């Protein structure tokens, strides 16, 4: 995924309770040349434009290469495959969210209490899913890639940290995965499209689940 211009220095709150540093927001290649970074940005801009125009399900490596005026081999070398390209595009949508829940103002950021932050994290996640559902669903096709993606690892570390700060008892890792499972793109899309649930109901349900896990109900 696209590296930031400078290494990110994580604040103490962005580290989990046991002291392990949170993964960086992006896969970072410190050796990437300026021209290579520009070419990568050009490819991602082309991919994002095609997704807006045609939908993520119609995105192909050929189309991105044509739109960016490069050879198809260049796209494969930069992103590996279509899933890698989709995750790279998703990285663009994750940056603002990650910065908000790690370093931003309340209710997402460090100045709010952990339970409030957990509630806000889920509500904002659901709203971002609704805005980019097509892209999330396409990138979610390969479970192994999904669970290993840096943005999801950052989310898992963040939720685990908030659960510990809320002094939740039990298997925090399992509780973290349970909470994140309710924000799974395919699951949320199923509830919205096949079960007739509303976005407001899902947001309320998330807050109720957080309250029950943290014993704030």
Over 178-217, what HEC string results? HHHHCCCHHHHHHHHHCCCCCHHHHHHHHHHHHHHHCCCC
- Position 144 scores a pLDDT of 63
Question: Is 87 a residue whose pLDDT tops 70?
Answer: yes
Distance CA(102)–CA(98), nearest Å, equals 6
> Would you say residue 7 lies in a domain?
no
- Position 15 scores a pLDDT of 42
Structure token pair of residue 133: 């559902």
The total number of structural domains that make up the chain: 1
Predicted confidence (pLDDT) per residue in 24-54, tens digit: 444 445 556 787 888 889 999 999 999 999 9
- CATH number where 92 lies: 1.10.357.10
Question: Is 156 a residue whose pLDDT tops 50?
Answer: yes
> Would you say residue 11 lies in a domain?
no
- Position 216 scores a pLDDT of 66
Top-ranked range on mean pLDDT: pick from 11-15, 18-22, 45-49:
45-49
pLDDT band at 187 (very low <50, low <70, confident <90, very high): very high
> Would you say residue 88 lies in a domain?
yes
Percent of all residues in the chain with a pLDDT value above 90, rounded to a whole number? 64
pLDDT band at 150 (very low <50, low <70, confident <90, very high): confident
> Would you say residue 16 lies in a domain?
no
Contacts of residue 151, defined as CB under 8 A and 6 or more positions apart, other chains included, come to: 1, 25, 90, 91, 94, 98
> Would you say residue 17 lies in a domain?
no
User: DSSP letters along 57-104, please?
Assistant: GG--HHHHHHHHTS-HHHHHHHHSSHHHHHHHHHHHHHHHHHHHHHHS
Global pTM value: 0.76
Question: Is 67 a residue whose pLDDT tops 90?
Answer: yes
Burial of 203 (0-12, 13-18, 19+ CB in 10 A): middle
> Would you say residue 123 lies in a domain?
yes
The 10 Å Cβ neighbour count of residue 128 is 16
Domain span at 130: 22-213
> Would you say residue 49 lies in a domain?
yes
The 10 Å Cβ neighbour count of residue 57 is 11
Top-ranked range on mean pLDDT: pick from 1-10, 50-59, 82-91:
50-59
Question: Is 12 a residue whose pLDDT tops 60?
Answer: no
C-beta separation of 24 from 150 below 8 A: yes
> Would you say residue 38 lies in a domain?
yes
């Amino acid at each position: 995924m696209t590296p930031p211009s400078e290494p990110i220095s994580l604040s103490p709150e962005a580290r989990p309770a046991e002291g392990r540093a949170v993964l960086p927001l992006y896969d970072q290649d410190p050796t990437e040349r300026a021209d290579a970074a520009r070419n990568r940005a050009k490819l991602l801009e082309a991919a994002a434009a095609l997704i807006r125009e045609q939908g993520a399900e119609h995105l192909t490596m050929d189309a991105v290469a044509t739109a960016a005026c490069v050879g198809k081999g260049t796209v494969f070398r930069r992103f590996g495959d279509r899933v890698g390209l989709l995750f790279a595009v998703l990285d663009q949508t994750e940056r603002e969210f990650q910065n908000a829940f790690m370093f931003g103002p309340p209710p997402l950021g460090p100045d709010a209490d952990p339970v409030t932050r957990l509630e806000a994290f889920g509500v904002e996640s659901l709203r971002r899913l609704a805005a980019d559902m097509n892209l999330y669903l396409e990138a979610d096709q390969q479970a192994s890639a999904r669970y290993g993606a840096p943005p999801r690892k950052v989310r898992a570390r963040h939720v685990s940290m908030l659960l510990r700060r809320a002094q939740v008892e039990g298997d925090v890792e399992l509780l973290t995965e349970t909470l994140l499972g309710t924000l799974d793109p395919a699951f949320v899309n199923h509830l919205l499209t096949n079960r007739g649930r509303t976005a407001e109901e899902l947001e309320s349900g998330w807050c109720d689940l957080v309250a029950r896990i943290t014993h704030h109900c």
